[in-house]
């Protein structure tokens, strides 16, 4: 992932999407599928459309579950690179 602060500063673009929470899996997988069919991109979860860091709760199996959901709900199947980073003392994925 590009440096988080740079992504937040530049905002959404053709290759960057912000999603406020993990509860928006349909929109998250839609964006990932679109990026994988184009020139790639980054989805940052835990950030509002305006670039405000909201944070997400990361449980023991959150990352593994997220990766599995993405693989199961993208066609062709996407194999995401997932990282947890911190901004303003809040975690984003």
Q: Which residues pair with 19 in a beta bridge?
A: 45
pLDDT in tens, 12-68: 999 999 999 999 989 999 999 999 888 899 999 999 999 999 999 998 899 999 999
Per-domain boundaries in the chain:
4-81
Per DSSP, the three-state class of 8 is helix
pLDDT in tens, 69-87: 999 988 888 888 999 999 8
DSSP string covering 15-80: TEEEES-TT-HHHHHHHHHHHHTTT--EEEETB-TTS-B------TTHHHHHHHHHHHT-SSPP--
- DSSP code of 13? B
Which tokens sit at 80? Answer: 């995401």
């Amino acid at each position: 992932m590009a440096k988080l602060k740079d992504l937040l500063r530049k905002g959404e673009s053709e290759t960057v999407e912000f999603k406020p929470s993990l509860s928006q899996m349909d929109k998250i997988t839609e964006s990932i599928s679109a990026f994988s069919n184009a020139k790639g991109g980054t989805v940052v979860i835990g950030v509002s459309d305006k670039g405000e860091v909201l944070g997400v709760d990361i449980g023991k199996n959150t990352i593994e579950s997220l990766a599995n959901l993405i693989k199961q709900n993208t066609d062709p199947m996407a194999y995401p690179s997932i990282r947890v980073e911190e901004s303003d003392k809040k975690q984003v994925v």
